[in-house]
């Protein structure tokens, strides 16, 4: 589920963790539902994860999004999403109005909470929660992403 500027969009992804592929992607907003498959589903998954998907794809870690220069590791707890439970680590901004300078972009964060974890039976790290509010390059955003349910099948 993604909420941006008071609009909620629900996403449903079917992911094959054995080969890191996305089988299907569905989005639902305001009573409209749209499903895509294969390469288009993978593209949709990557774009919906935004910079986090790019960071994961190109460097195999969350890098700047968990950098201790900007964010504090609040610890790891076990969380349950539907029928699946797994350890989730949460990061918050070091201070209110944290300024993050990275790759030529400067952003001021007024709110930041990121939670990530790896479900059992998969090597994939998933975002389970993200709340980001702030501004960069003259544009302001207030976005919340939340994993609400997950099923892992063997």
Q: In 3-state terms, what secondary structure has residue 61?
A: coil
pLDDT-derived band at 75, boundaries 50, 70, 90:
very high
pLDDT-derived band at 102, boundaries 50, 70, 90:
confident
Contact 25, 33 (CB under 8 A): no
Domain ranges across the chain: 1-48, 61-154
Residue 54: pLDDT above 50? no
| SS3 assignment for 30-55 | CCEEEEEEHHHHHHHHHHHCHHHHHH
Q: What does the mean pLDDT of the chain come to?
A: 79
Q: What digits encode the pLDDT tens for the residues 14-38? A: 777 666 677 788 877 777 888 888 8
User: Could you give the maximum distance between any two Cα atoms of the chain, in Å?
Assistant: 46
Q: How many CA atoms lie within 13 A of 138 on its CB side?
A: 0
């Amino acid at each position: 589920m993604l909420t941006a500027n008071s609009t909620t969009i629900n996403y449903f992804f079917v992911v094959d963790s054995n080969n890191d592929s996305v089988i299907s992607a569905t989005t639902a907003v305001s009573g409209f539902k749209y499903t895509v498959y294969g390469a288009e589903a993978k593209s949709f998954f990557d774009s919906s994860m935004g910079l986090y998907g790019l960071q994961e794809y190109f460097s195999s870690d969350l890098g700047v999004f968990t950098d201790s220069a900007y964010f504090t590791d609040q610890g790891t707890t076990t969380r349950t999403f539907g029928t699946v439970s797994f350890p989730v680590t949460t990061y918050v901004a070091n201070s209110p109005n944290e300024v993050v300078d990275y790759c030529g972009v400067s952003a001021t964060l007024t709110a930041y909470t990121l939670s990530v974890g790896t479900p059992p039976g998969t090597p994939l790290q998933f975002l389970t929660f993200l709340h980001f509010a702030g501004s960069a390059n003259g544009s302001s955003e207030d976005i919340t992403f939340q994993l609400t349910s997950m099923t892992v099948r063997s």
